[in-house]
Amino acid sequence: MLFVTSVTSVYRAQTSLLAHSLPAFQPVDHDCMQILYDVHHWVATACVDGEVLVANSLGEAISPTVARQLKAIYGHLVGVDGLLDVCMVPCAQQPNGSDCGVFAAAFLFEWAVMSVPANLNVKFNLPIMRDHLMFCLDRELVIPFPKLPLTTSYKAGTTRTVRI
């Protein structure tokens, strides 16, 4: 089970800026969660019981920069062939090009509160997501983001494993 008390108490905080330098991220050999950044996009990732999970609000593609970050952080899980198995988790998709960061935070909040892997294929209440995140950060709280009821057109996705 993954316990989150604060970023620094789980492991040394690492910024995505490290991905652009050597030695990049320090490997983590225990369960953790991290938001990774690639040029103009944020994605949520977690490692639980040796399984690497990625929630990407823009689809299932993993960029080369994010792949490099994942391999650096979860290096102990990289195979002798240099590849890492990653589970792409079905998740809510952002409706625009500017909400990936708040969606990545929402995914981590769901995982932290509901346990990993919680269902991320939900419909967040988009107009209040940023205010909710600011509320939580100001008070150092982890509260799941408000959701809207799912419509009948809702389609559940399935987790897919990719090798990067």
User: What would the pLDDT profile of 77-119 be if each residue is shown by its tens digit?
Assistant: 999 999 999 999 999 999 998 999 999 999 999 999 887 766 7
* DSSP tag of 44: E
pLDDT at residue 31 tops 80: yes
SS3 46: strand
Residue 14 to residue 29: CA distance in whole angstroms: 14
Q: Which helix (H) or strand (E) holds 163?
A: strand 160-163
Residue 79 to residue 117: CA distance in whole angstroms: 23
Mean pLDDT, to the nearest integer, of 138-147? Answer: 94
At residue 161, φ and ψ (nearest 5 deg) are -95, 130
pLDDT at residue 17 tops 90: no
| pLDDT bucket at 153, cuts 50 / 70 / 90 | low
Q: Before 127, cis peptide (omega within 30)?
A: no
- At 61 the pLDDT is 84
Phi/psi-derived region of residue 46, left when phi > 0, alpha when psi is between -120 and 50, beta in every other case: beta
Domain ranges of the chain: 13-162
SS3 134: helix
pLDDT at residue 156 tops 80: no
- At 27 the pLDDT is 74
| pLDDT bucket at 30, cuts 50 / 70 / 90 | confident
Between 7 and 26, the higher pLDDT residue = 26
Between 30 and 5, the higher pLDDT residue = 30
Query: What are the CA-CA distances from residue 47 to residues 10, 70, 84, 87 (Å)?
Result: 12, 10, 12, 10
Measured on CA atoms in the order 109, 113, 116, 119, is the torsion positive or negative? negative
pTM equals 0.80
Between 150 and 32, the higher pLDDT residue = 32
